[in-house]
Structure 1
Amino acid sequence: MTLLGDSAPDVNTLRDFLQDALPDYMVPAAFVTLDVMPLTPNGKVDRKALPAPEAARPELATAFTAPRDEKEQILAGIWAQLLGIDDIGVHDSFFELGGDSILSIQVVARANQAGLRLNARHIFQHPTIAELAAVSGTGPTIQAEQGIVVGDLPLTPIQHWFFEQNLSEAHHWNQSVMLSVTMPLDVGLMETAVSHLITHHDAFRLQFNQTDSGWQQVNADLPEVVPFSHVDLSDVVVGEETAVLQTHANRLQASLDLHNGPLMHVAYFTFGANKPGRLLILVHHLAMDGVSWGILLEDLQLAYQQLANNQPVQLPPKTTSFRHWAQRLTELAQSEALQDEVAWWTAVSTLTPLPRDIDTPAANTEASADSITVGLTQAETEALLREVPDVYRTEINDILLTALAQALSQWTGNSAVRIHLEGHGREDLFEEVDLSRTVGWFTSLYPVQLDLTGITQPGAAIMSVKEQLRQLPQRGIGYGLLRYLSTDPATQTAMQAIPHPEVSFNYLGQMGQGMNDDSPLSMAPEARGMERSPQARRTHLLEIDGSIGDGRLEMAWTFSRNSHSRNTIIQVAEQFIDALRNLITHCQSPESGGVTLSDVSDFGWEQNDLDDILSAIDDLEL
């Protein structure tokens, strides 16, 4: 922008002007005033010589704007807690600071508890604190059932998928955490705290029964016995504590009852005076997902602390029940609008099998599972979270999946790869629904094909994968609705014919947000026991699960020793990390950056229109 006159307008004036002319996501987060533009010898803008916005902030104080009122202060505090950043300006973008769709759910939950009334759509449409504060309270007031929810409810798509696997020991398929307890807990108070969780979160009381027409679920009333146990291991011989702990953990992991519930158990292990205890929390996957863990841990700590302080237990208000969500999904699956997606999902129905190391592989069971973990350094993770997203206007998933597509293509020799992609599933589909503090299994699972044919450069790969993911209708949630909930015979036949990919990918986001800074609980080093039955058939040949903890990205690659050698998976995983590092390095280079169609969707352009405009800008001489 060239300014006429002796003085430059202030940043707020510039921002207001651009907001009237551009979509929100194209308005710059910072502005830099220069006397002249640095030029290359041939008269074009020398982008490498342009100063970074951060370097300009001392001269342009308004480029960083501190919170100006109570709403902005509340939001800045929430962002700081979740993102781990102290100084957040009201014009900083949530996603450019490392935020993702999973963290956005937690922002909504905490903002609503503070009385600001936001929904997930607000954060995507208004990703700065200033914009969020302005729209807070403008959405509908959502009234959720605050009492105990009981009665029948339909299965959701992910629950249908689970029972479709026909597992031999379906009751033994859990998620769990093992926590270290730095101070003694009152056993009676902890048991009471667990009882409040069972009362408050209806999903823990789900029960499942198989009938002639298939599996049915019901929200049961309160159980007669609280699913809590205290295990005293103080008499165990020194040096054998870990082995004994694992024996008890394995027993508890196999103890859940789908038919009679409840679907969770909390066990407190003590080892004698002056020794840290352990708290094992396990929940059947049918009632739990990654987002729910933050809610569970937060509420368990809150309930226990209130009881310890002789206060009545008062947990945050419930949001929309899992039962209501399941009912609304069933209705949505019959809509005409959703039927339009069938052609999209069935367009690619072929599946090329993964290479195997063993000619006649044995059963792909949990007993045969092995895992290796690769990751980034803290500095590399910081760059992935803070520097990379702004370059191509991407989410973390876009970059991870680009690296994965490159690694799998190199391994398989196919430029197009198919992946079962997991999403959090808590999509903003209905005006009257708020799932930000609802416990349950909401995951969406859908196939994606990522095609890098003819693409060798990192920037082109990022933009291609980004656009392929943006073309997914409704972030993929329609696939499960059509496959499992549609009552149209033709739709059922078409969707059931789509083969399941052999690779699954799940990025869980930044972990640990459910733990208070002053909490006596922290993640323990011991294993949690066998979360799944050793006899159970694994659902994929290769499972890739990523998360960020303690400032580092880690990616776990789980495979079957009956199909692949450990060296093969190590090689592919290292190719993935090398590709990811290459993408990060590219995004830090001056020549990186680009605009794709999804960035300018409001204008209705085609790709060739955008290419012509960008080419003209690139050739611009000043």
Structure 2
Amino acid sequence: RTDTPDNIRLVAYIVPTTTPAPTVTELRDFLAKTLPAYMIPAAFVTLEQMPLMPNSKINRTALPAPDHSRPELAATFIAPQTEKEQHLADIWQSVLGLEEVGIHDDFFELGGDSILSIQVIARANEKGLHLTPRQFFEGSTIGQLAAAATDAPRIQAEQGVVTGPLPLTPIQHWFFEQDFPQQHHWNQAMLFALAQPLQPELLETAVSHLIQHHDALRLRFNNTGGVWQQYNAGLSEIIPVTRIDLSNLDADAQKTAVSHHAAIQQTTLDLKTGPLLRIVTFDCGDTQPDRLLIAVHHLAIDGVSWRILLEDLQTAYAQLQNQMAVSLPPKTTSYQQWAERLLRYAASPEAIADLSVWQQMAKAAIRPLPRDFTTTHMPSEATSQEIVVSLNATETEALLRDVPATYRTEINDVLLTALARTMHTWTHSPTLLVDMEGHGRSQLFEDVDLSRTVGWFTTVYPIALTLSGSNNPGSELKQIKEQLRRIPDHGIGYGILRYLGPETAVKTQLANIPQAEISFNYLGQFQQAPAASDTLTIAPESRGSDRSLDGTRQYLLDVSGGIHQGQLHITWIYSPDMHQPATIKRLANNFINALRDIITHCQEPETSGATPSDFPMAQLDQKKLDKLMAKMARRK
């Protein structure tokens, strides 16, 4: 069924012939004996009788939609008891798309991930429940979080306009290190279809409030003597909103014109004088809905920031439309303060303590990735092609709701296990060096809150993923999970030491770690993002290139994934100068098949287990822990 664009799933309708009727668990277990996991319905609806048409065939349109009920979990459902618990339950239900959650339900077993947890923290703060990312991962149930939440904010963020110089962050150092040929054209952008035309004067006013509220949108960059510096500019009377009238064109001509103008507008950002933000409305008259292009230089935005920016744009515009004063949620820690704290932290003993983790990466035995064609240089961005593969809605729901509880995993554990298995088959090497991208908002400091801060926080760090060759999905999933858990603070320390540390020898050592030839980035779930609203929907036209095509590719393969409209989509970007399309298609399909193997394994009866990182104080390796768990199971 497709009841909404964000909810696509396989549904079973049952008319019981026995009393009592079979439970959902009994039905699932019965079907599991004859069907593969991805064919087992995601929802079961019990009816007194099937709705029929006059010809006695089932009237499919009359079948009722299943509700968004809580999935079956090991934890017994207990409803919220306190006001704090109810506030958190309301937020979880909104973010996860569920009708009810219990206070002992685990957020990640319900399908949550670290990116969605940031949204929960931000919304909780707005309700006066102040939480940190660390608290979220230490206790990921409503009961635990309600007990940990405080009424007073843990940080005091500057609520005014932040101006003045600030250090470059690690990811910004990385950007300028690449020496891209057209640095002003390296953006993130979105093109929307509008449910209703926007009033130009209200849009300009709303955008001016965004620029005032989110300081990173006012960043400026100068190169002095070969050294890049940045500062927060003050407010400007110039609002970067442009209107293009296409109302005299037919639909096909409008489509061409939108793509043409969008491509041009993406090249108009200026690192030195600004703006770093460009907003363009396309007036399509009565032919079709108007279009809205938002382009922001990547130096000022990342994936998490988009959720904040779009939400605030819609909030500000709606308030102005209703003749209300614009009131956005309180600001969290400024990008300026974050950059300054990172620079100070880089010289601390805590930062240096992580060095040994990264030194191990240099010792890994890494084979170059196979190539179909040999060239002496990396191809340009202009040659980039992509192949997209997907799980269906039922498989995606199983990935989010069934898999995490089996071995207490997060989605990155599962996706990277599938990637490691795929690449092992291709390279015949047990170890794969990957550059991992993360959202970079891990809590290093107790007095910092980044849940509503716009900026480029992304972390990029190398990790060597090694498989033992067992060819067992469960065993390999546990191996990769443990290797990821050994990376402190989700890898943020690598960039800090690599670019901000005071010791030149350390910087040189980290710079000499072998360059990964493949990158991986999980972008999160987008069905609950503000873009998936009644106001803004993704437009079908091309928005032009986000980056200059004159630049050089950084990796042979870029693998990224996200969940859109209830399905996991994995994009493989490559250059035909290096690989034939058939090669990448085969890799992409092998990845999806490896993912299905893991899902099926985790859905098998009696499949469960723990890994050493689940019990850090016990100091057990996997073998000893497995023996202990087996012994405890026998006693039961």
Question: TM-score, length-normalised on structure 1?
Answer: 0.88
| Per-residue deviation, residues 184-241 of structure 1 (Å, max 9, x unmatched) | 1111111111111111100011111112251111111112310111111112244221
Residue 465 (str. 1) matches residue 480 (str. 2): yes
Residue 220 (str. 1) matches residue 228 (str. 2): no
The answer on whether the counterparts of 1:392 and 1:594 sit within 8 Å (CA) in structure 2 is yes
| Most deviating of 354-363 and 157-166 | 354-363
**After superposition, where does 1:187-586 map in structure 2 within 5 Å?**
187-212=200-225, 214-273=227-286, 275-349=288-362, 351-360=366-375, 363-515=378-530, 519-586=534-601
Aligned counterparts of 1:225 and 1:197: Cα–Cα separation in 2: 13
Change over 3 Å in CA distance of 1:565–1:215 after alignment to 2: same
Aligned counterparts of 1:201 and 1:332: Cα–Cα separation in 2: 24
Aligned counterparts of 1:606 and 1:507: Cα–Cα separation in 2: 28
Aligned counterparts of 2:401 and 2:548: Cα–Cα separation in 1: 40
The answer on whether the counterparts of 1:416 and 1:453 sit within 8 Å (CA) in structure 2 is no
Aligned counterparts of 2:605 and 2:74: Cα–Cα separation in 1: 25
Q: Aligned AA for 1:128?
A: T
Give how far 1:122 is off. Answer: 1.6
| Most deviating of 434-443 and 508-517 | 508-517
Give how far 1:359 is off. Answer: 2.3
Aligned counterparts of 1:383 and 1:373: Cα–Cα separation in 2: 20
Give how far 1:69 is off. Answer: 2.4
The answer on whether the counterparts of 1:91 and 1:129 sit within 8 Å (CA) in structure 2 is yes
Residue 79 (str. 1) matches residue 106 (str. 2): no
| Per-residue deviation, residues 531-574 of structure 1 (Å, max 9, x unmatched) | 01010111211111111111110011111121111111110010
Give how far 1:66 is off. Answer: 1.4
Change over 3 Å in CA distance of 1:122–1:533 after alignment to 2: same
Change over 3 Å in CA distance of 1:193–1:595 after alignment to 2: same
Give how far 1:138 is off. Answer: 6.9
Query: How many residues are paired up?
Result: 568
Give how far 1:142 is off. Answer: 1.0
The answer on whether the counterparts of 1:140 and 1:431 sit within 8 Å (CA) in structure 2 is no
Aligned counterparts of 1:58 and 1:285: Cα–Cα separation in 2: 38
SS in 1 for 2:281: strand
Aligned counterparts of 1:58 and 1:286: Cα–Cα separation in 2: 40
Aligned counterparts of 2:445 and 2:220: Cα–Cα separation in 1: 26
Q: Aligned AA for 1:438?
A: T
| Per-residue deviation, residues 326-385 of structure 1 (Å, max 9, x unmatched) | 000001111122212222212232542211111236642110000010010000000000
SS in 2 for 1:403: helix
Q: 2:18 — aligned with what?
A: none
| Identity, % of aligned positions | 51
**After superposition, where does 1:608-619 map in structure 2 within 5 Å?**
608-618=623-633
Aligned counterparts of 1:511 and 1:58: Cα–Cα separation in 2: 20
SS in 2 for 1:539: coil
The match for 1:183 among 196, 201, 209 is 196
Q: 2:165 — aligned with what?
A: 152
Aligned counterparts of 1:557 and 1:462: Cα–Cα separation in 2: 22
Q: 1:112 — aligned with what?
A: 125
Aligned counterparts of 1:193 and 1:269: Cα–Cα separation in 2: 17
Aligned counterparts of 2:71 and 2:206: Cα–Cα separation in 1: 50
Q: 2:40 — aligned with what?
A: none
SS in 2 for 1:410: helix
Change over 3 Å in CA distance of 1:517–1:574 after alignment to 2: closer
Q: 2:602 — aligned with what?
A: 587
Give how far 1:612 is off. Answer: 3.0
Give how far 1:608 is off. Answer: 4.4
Question: TM-score, length-normalised on structure 2?
Answer: 0.86
Give how far 1:59 is off. Answer: 14
The match for 1:164 among 173, 177, 196 is 177
The match for 1:596 among 611, 617, 635 is 611
The answer on whether the counterparts of 1:444 and 1:476 sit within 8 Å (CA) in structure 2 is yes
Give how far 1:407 is off. Answer: 0.6
Change over 3 Å in CA distance of 1:516–1:210 after alignment to 2: closer
| Most deviating of 266-275 and 607-616 | 607-616
Aligned counterparts of 1:518 and 1:155: Cα–Cα separation in 2: 35
Change over 3 Å in CA distance of 1:189–1:489 after alignment to 2: same
Give how far 1:164 is off. Answer: 0.9
Give how far 1:123 is off. Answer: 1.2
Q: Aligned AA for 1:93?
A: D
Q: Structure 1 regions of 5+ residues with no counterpart?
A: 1-53
Change over 3 Å in CA distance of 1:621–1:429 after alignment to 2: closer
SS in 2 for 1:346: helix
Aligned counterparts of 2:622 and 2:561: Cα–Cα separation in 1: 32
The answer on whether the counterparts of 1:140 and 1:432 sit within 8 Å (CA) in structure 2 is no
| Most deviating of 220-229 and 148-157 | 220-229
Aligned counterparts of 2:252 and 2:193: Cα–Cα separation in 1: 17
Change over 3 Å in CA distance of 1:428–1:460 after alignment to 2: same
| Most deviating of 71-80 and 153-162 | 71-80
| Per-residue deviation, residues 2-28 of structure 1 (Å, max 9, x unmatched) | xxxxxxxxxxxxxxxxxxxxxxxxxxx
Q: Aligned AA for 1:165?
A: Q
Q: 2:26 — aligned with what?
A: none
The answer on whether the counterparts of 2:96 and 2:528 sit within 8 Å (CA) in structure 1 is no
| Most deviating of 605-614 and 204-213 | 605-614
Aligned counterparts of 1:518 and 1:553: Cα–Cα separation in 2: 19
The answer on whether the counterparts of 1:362 and 1:562 sit within 8 Å (CA) in structure 2 is no
The answer on whether the counterparts of 2:531 and 2:537 sit within 8 Å (CA) in structure 1 is no
The match for 1:99 among 112, 120, 133 is 112
| Per-residue deviation, residues 551-598 of structure 1 (Å, max 9, x unmatched) | 110011111121111111110010000000010000000142111100
